[in-house]
Structure 1
Amino acid sequence: MAHDWLDRWREGRIGFHRDRPHPALVRHWPRLGIRPGTKVLVPLCGKSLDMRWLGQHDHPVLGIELAPEAIEQFVGEGTSEISRYRQDGFDICRQANVELWCGDFFHFHIQQAAEIGAFYDRAALIALPAPTRQRYAFHLAQLLPPGAAGLLISLTRTLDDGGPPYTVSSDEVRELFEPNFHVTHLEDGEPEAGSGFQESVWAMVRRGPID
């Protein structure tokens, strides 16, 4: 899985990348009630322009990405000064209020997530095969404090010929996340002509000890 992802970036096979912020992010994020200044975790972030949108709306962003090519392309397409440093086994680039940690999401631990209070997942869950998705949902929950809110976009397709991206049904989203999150289905997008892809958008709030 990791090798395939790295190969995609090295070879430029990044059809999943959008050249503008995701409309569901623009539409729904303001409704989540997340306070300005709250740091947002973006797992498997690629070079998503959604991070710039979040940064422009007063959120520090912490993106985690395995492929160094993605990080270099992101900062190369920006205009702000870049700072670089290493911490806890991750090579980190900071540009404006976006910091990108290069490494394995599953090696990112709660001690490093102390300031995080929200999350955004447009392409992390659907990039992972089924056995890894349960591990992902649990690890994400461990990184977030009670009350932390976020937005998740899942994907199904009529012709499931493998992935990534992988089909993740609504039932699976609930099965994975409801043990640790309050899960609210917000909308289903229109199926894309030809591919049969259909996105679903979810709001999630991390449960507390007595929820």
Structure 2
Amino acid sequence: MSESEESGVVNEWLTRWREGRIGFHRDATHPVLHRYWPCLGVPEGTKVLVPLCGKSLDMRYLAERGHPVLGIELSLEAIEQFTAEGQGEVSRYRQGDFHVYRQGSIELWGGDFFHFHIEQAAEIGAFYDRAALIALPEATRQRYAFHLAQLIPPGARGLLISLVRAPGDDRGPPYSVDADEVRRLFTPNFELTHLEDGEPEDNGWRESAWSLVRRGPEV
């Protein structure tokens, strides 16, 4: 993806939040998270990375189950809405290029996910992706999968929800990412288990759930 194309994606994302075009946001915890997160065996107290988190209520679900949460979101407007809709005092500070908001055990880092580096991810031990991979155009998804792998330590577990649109519907975001592409993107660095394919929704979309385990170094 060229610099101009990437800039266009960023501007589109920010415009959606500014104009309230956030149909991808759910007003309840995702049922896939309810069904499968407990099955991953992520120990209580493990910090969970949530890339491109928006103002997802899934982060509150994770926090209520004893996980510190680190969400990364490009739109500061989304972060402001999340903290305003939550409870508890909010602290704000800068960390490099990021505007960091903390509310309870949830940290929200406002900035570019690709500028978040391993030094800042030292305590992360798990991840959850419901809306990051499918928010990115095809040319950027390989970069995302590689960057995510650099932030996740060997043995760490994660839950991924992908989306397949109806045949012939190639719009986005969210973009259609089928099972073959998920495997192609993540198999080099993760062990994948396909958990389920959801029922088609009224708009023809169908979600799929995957568990991932970060591979260790080759011996």
Structure 2 length as normaliser, TM-score?
Answer: 0.95
1:103-133 deviation per Cα after TM superposition (whole angstroms, max 9, x unaligned):
0000000000000000000000000000100
- Count the aligned residue pairs: 210
Aligned to 1:169: 178
Aligned to 2:45: 37
1:35-60 deviation per Cα after TM superposition (whole angstroms, max 9, x unaligned):
00000000000000000000000000
Aligned to 2:151: 143
Q: Give the letter aligned to residue 119 of structure 1.
A: F
RMSD: 0.8
Distance, in Å, in 2 between the alignment partners of 1:125 and 1:161 is 15
What is the 5 A alignment of 1:61-210?
Answer: 61-158=69-166, 159-193=168-202, 195-210=203-218
Structure 1 length as normaliser, TM-score?
Answer: 0.98
Tell me if 1:57 matches 2:60. no
Distance, in Å, in 2 between the alignment partners of 1:55 and 1:65 is 17
Which sections of structure 2, spanning at least 5 residues, go unmatched? 1-8
Q: Give the letter aligned to residue 174 of structure 1.
A: R
CA-CA distance at 1:89 after TM superposition: 1.3
Which sections of structure 1, spanning at least 5 residues, go unmatched? none
Of all paired residues, the percent bearing the same amino acid is 71
Secondary structure at the counterpart of residue 58 of structure 1: coil
Distance, in Å, in 2 between the alignment partners of 1:43 and 1:29 is 16
Secondary structure at the counterpart of residue 175 of structure 1: helix
What is the 5 A alignment of 1:20-35?
Answer: 20-35=28-43
Q: Which runs of 4+ in 1 moved over 6 A?
A: none
